[in-house]
Amino acid sequence: MLDFLDLLRGRVFRFLSYSILILITAGCNLGSDANEPVLFDEPIVPPYSPNPNESPKRRGGQIDPDLLKDTFTVRLVSSENVRTLQDNILEVAASLPAGSELSIPKNVARVNYQYRTKSGEVKYSSNLFYRSIKIVSVPPQYQDLYPVDRIDEINNLPTGLFVTTTVGSEQGGEAIAPVIPVAPSKAFLSLYEESGRPQFSFTSYFKKRFGNKLNNGAIEKLVSMGADLDKSERIMESLYETVDRTEFKDSDSMFVSRNDADYYSIMFEDTGLVQTIGAWSIAVFGTATRHGFGHVPCAEFQSEIVRQAYAKAGYDHKTDFSKKGGNELFWTHTAAVVNLANSLNTAGWVPWEAKTYIPKTGAIAFHYKATTPGHAYAIAGEGGRFIVDNGNPRGTDLRRISEKILRQQYMTGVFFLPSGIIPDTW
**What was the pLDDT predicted at 225?**
58
How many distinct helices (H) and strands (E) make up the chain?
A: 12, 16
**What was the pLDDT predicted at 332?**
83
**What was the pLDDT predicted at 45?**
32
Query: Residues near 240 by Cβ (< 8 Å), separated by ≥ 6?
Result: 126, 361, 362
Q: What's the predicted TM-score (pTM) here?
A: 0.62
**Cα separations (Å) of 229 from 41, 124, 220, 224, 255?**
35, 15, 10, 9, 31
* Domain residue limits, the chain: 56-164, 186-417
CB count, 10 Å around CB of 425? 10
Quote the distance between the C-alpha of residue 382 and its chain's center.
Answer: 18
**What was the pLDDT predicted at 76?**
77
**What was the pLDDT predicted at 128?**
64
Give the strand order in the sheet containing 122-124. Answer: 110-111, 129-131, 162-164, 80-86, 89-96, 114-116, 122-124
Buried b (16+ CB within 10 A) or exposed e, 333-363: ebbbbbbbbbbbbbbebbbbbbbebbbbbbb
**What was the pLDDT predicted at 260?**
86
- How far is residue 16's CA from residue 210's CA, in Å, rounded to a whole number? 39
**What was the pLDDT predicted at 74?**
77
**What was the pLDDT predicted at 18?**
37
pLDDT by position in tens, the chain (length 426): 434 344 334 444 444 443 433 333 334 543 332 222 222 222 233 333 333 343 333 333 444 555 555 777 777 766 788 999 999 899 999 999 877 888 888 766 567 688 888 788 887 764 468 888 999 988 888 888 898 889 999 999 999 999 976 564 433 456 788 999 999 999 999 999 999 999 999 999 999 999 999 998 766 666 655 558 889 999 999 999 999 999 988 888 998 887 888 899 999 999 999 999 999 989 988 898 888 887 788 999 999 999 999 999 999 999 999 999 999 998 888 889 999 999 999 999 999 999 999 999 999 999 999 998 889 999 999 999 999 998 888 899 999 888 888 998 899 999 999 999 999 999
DSSP 74-136: EE-SS-EEEEEEETTEEEEEEEEPTT-EEEEETTPPEE--EEE-TTS-EEE-SS-EEES-EEE
**What was the pLDDT predicted at 223?**
61
- How far is residue 176's CA from residue 61's CA, in Å, rounded to a whole number? 30
**What was the pLDDT predicted at 58?**
32
* Helix, strand, coil content of the chain in percent (nearest 5): 35, 20, 50
**What was the pLDDT predicted at 259?**
81
**What was the pLDDT predicted at 14?**
40
